[in-house]
Structure 1
């Protein structure tokens, strides 16, 4: 039996002078059911703000669903964070509707928005890979020892990122890479690149997708 398509709503306020009710009322008028409404209320600097409401909403999101927000900036507090959140929605095969802005990916014009997001995400990943290569080259020119850490080529690094996107654990990825390359790649080698790998993934991927590592 087909899973019914739903509208998943998310609202967030970041200061005491913002009214959460305003966003919630707008989401309900847009057709979001009470049980599919999720909220977050940030306070202070927000540095430790985990956005549990957003993570729960993203976990619940299924293919064909529509993720509804009042404004686009509710999905991220920086451009990088916003792009990663949008990538999660797109990769789940869901749509996005922004109530106060002309963004609705259920329409032909709206689909172009997701294509632009994908292009920006790829551009960001390319920049990260380029900075990594430049950093290693600069260190080598300065005679800096990189220790015994095994290097992942840019192609291997991208392969790791692709497998992580599929929900593969580092153990599974190490096994896959070792089978398909001449050099054995260990779990510890991958973990030494973990910060860089996770930076190339949608934010909090490990919390959105269950992974045993």
Structure 2
């Protein structure tokens, strides 16, 4: 299953461009997870955590329009990717 994650950093920003991009890729609106939260703390990103903890299963794919939607800098993106890899390893054990 493919899931799509769209995020902007504040309530005043708009998610439309990311959502439209995902629809152009063939996304079903039910598989697009949208969040208006700062990228500062992963713990505060409820939708991201719900996606990872409750929806993603072995073999699934998470699509983002840009890597900066996952984290604010290379270090945060790297940490997120390591976390995802560890989750995959746990699923395979």
Deviation at 1:69, TM superposition (A): 0.5
- Structure 1 residues 28 and 89: alpha-carbon distance in aligned structure 2, compared to 1, 3 A threshold: farther
Deviation at 1:48, TM superposition (A): 9.3
2:18: which partner in 1?
A: 23
2:48: which partner in 1?
A: 54
- Residue correspondence of structure 1 range 151-170 to structure 2 within 5 A: 166=90
TM-score, normalised by the number of residues in structure 2: 0.74
Bigger Cα Rg: 1
1:10: which partner in 2?
A: 5
Q: Where is the strand percentage greater, Structure 1 or Structure 2?
A: 2
- Structure 1 residues 26 and 51: alpha-carbon distance in aligned structure 2, compared to 1, 3 A threshold: same
1:34: which partner in 2?
A: 29
- Distance in 1, matches of 2:85 and 2:3, equals 14
Deviation at 1:11, TM superposition (A): 0.5
Count of residues in correspondence between the two structures: 89
- Distance in 1, matches of 2:47 and 2:73, equals 18
Q: CA RMSD in A?
A: 2.8
1:84 is aligned to 2:58: no
Q: Provide runs of 4+ in structure 1 moved above 4 Å.
A: 46-49
**Bigger relative contact order, structure 1 or 2, given CA contacts below 8 A and separation 6+?**
2
- Distance in 1, matches of 2:17 and 2:28, equals 16
- Structure 1 residues 36 and 88: alpha-carbon distance in aligned structure 2, compared to 1, 3 A threshold: farther
